[in-house]
Amino acid sequence: MSATAELATEIRPFHVEFADEALDDLRRRIASTNWPERETVGDQSQGVPLAMIQELASYWMTDYDWRTCEAKLNALPQFVTEIDGLDIHFIHVRSQHEDALPLVVNHGWPGSIVEQLKIIDRLANPAAHGASVADAFHVVIPSMPGYGFSGKPTSTGWGPERMARAWAELMERLGYDRYLAQGGDWGAFVVDQMGLQAPEGLIAIHTNMPATVPADVDKASLAGEPPPPGLSKEERRAYEQLIRTYKQVEYARMMAARPQTLYGIADSPVGLAAWLLDHNDADGQPAATVVSALDRPTSNTGALTRDELLDNITLYWLTNTGVSASRLYWEYKGGFFNVKGVSIPVAVTVFPGEQYQAPRSWAEQAYPNLIYFNEVDRGGHFAAWEEPELFSAELRAAFRSLRPTNGGPS
């Protein structure tokens, strides 16, 4: 290998450190926000309410401490490597257990690697959390291109398909010849593409936002038409949830059509925060889980907190990735919840607060090699963030049959 090629594939340590001036500038910009009048309705149908965002902005400006998040990140092994001409940032935590399975975990929008911080030790060091050492994972969490500390694409083409190839390259570069992949939100699109591409070494995928909707149901729901006949009770419920979801994705349509127009979220911290907060889940828009976290300063159970939300928003601000992250919606031209044709082993966890609850009947048709399916009783679209203990337990259970000690491939 030439010196140039070696340099391109080099894995370099990464350390997070933003200057005090950047944080001072953030506070100044929050203080100088040009506020509009309050909404003309008594609910959240017009978007993030003025009182809600002003309260968050006040806390962000005066009490929130980014350095706490920065310290958490720097306590983890972080790296950067160039893949397909772009710097890719990732966290890589190797378990102390020799039989641990390598796992690459994919975040989505409006998230980042911050979403997965609470699951890392639970997966890599399960005994410390009351689980078996036999269920340990080596954990790899990349920042998607245009997000966080990864490079920002300067040309088109960085959609889920290309990311899937990049993650396969990353796992090979880390020396893993057999590994697993997990994803939700955009990460679910990426792992579906990984499953389609079936790179050598990929054993199976787990998704918490599965693509299971049959073609006739997908066509009808996108058009807002009555459901096809013959749906079961669970399938009819899923259909109605799809109809509701498609009525609440104005943010996605804007990013898919005109991401470059969103200059306001690169110029105003409050504008960015409101944009990232106004993201629907199964309980309403803005996302109910996010809204409830605004009033939760701490949590003993791992539930989402106000500071964790601001960690994510502040990461977007300090890296100026509001617009670059939005372009992923423009890049992707495929369907959303429609069947993709994955034939490798697939595990599915259905969270009740997801945008739609995939019925087992659809999952079995969409993923003919379905090795695990479970409906849990709590959690939603931001599952790893909302319910880190439950989410980690699901990954352990989902992939348990694939471990060599349980008869899986060696």
Please identify which of the residues 92, 107, 138, 381 carries the catalytic annotation: 381
Distance CA 366, CA 370 (A): 9
Q: What is the DSSP string of 193-227?
A: HHHHH--TTEEEEEESS---B-HHHHHHHHHTPPP
At residue 341, the 3 state secondary structure works out as: coil
Closest Cα partner for 395 from 180, 77, 130, 187? 180
CA distances from 287 to 47, 290, 382, 388 (A): 11, 5, 10, 18
Instruction: Return d(Cα 360, Cα 212) in angstroms, integer.
Output: 9
Q: Which residue is it, tokens 């889920």?
A: 160
Q: How far apart are CA 383 and CA 368, in angstroms?
A: 25
Amino acid at 314: T
Annotated catalytic residue within 135, 185, 307, 311 = 185
Residue 286: C-alpha distances to residues 154, 211, 258, 381 (Å): 31, 23, 21, 12
**59 is annotated as an active-site residue:** no
- Of 3, 395, 6, nearest in space to 205 by CA: 395
311 carries an active-site annotation: no
DSSP 4: H
Rounded to the nearest angstrom, the gap between the alpha carbon of residue 374 and the centroid of all alpha carbons in its chain is 20
Q: How many residues does the chain have?
A: 410
The verdict on whether 329 is a catalytic residue reads yes
How many whole angstroms separate alpha carbon 69 and alpha carbon 71?
5
Instruction: Choose, from 64, 329, 367, 372, the residue flagged as catalytic.
Output: 329
Q: How far apart are CA 176 and CA 360, in angstroms?
A: 32
Just list the catalytic residues: 185, 329, 381
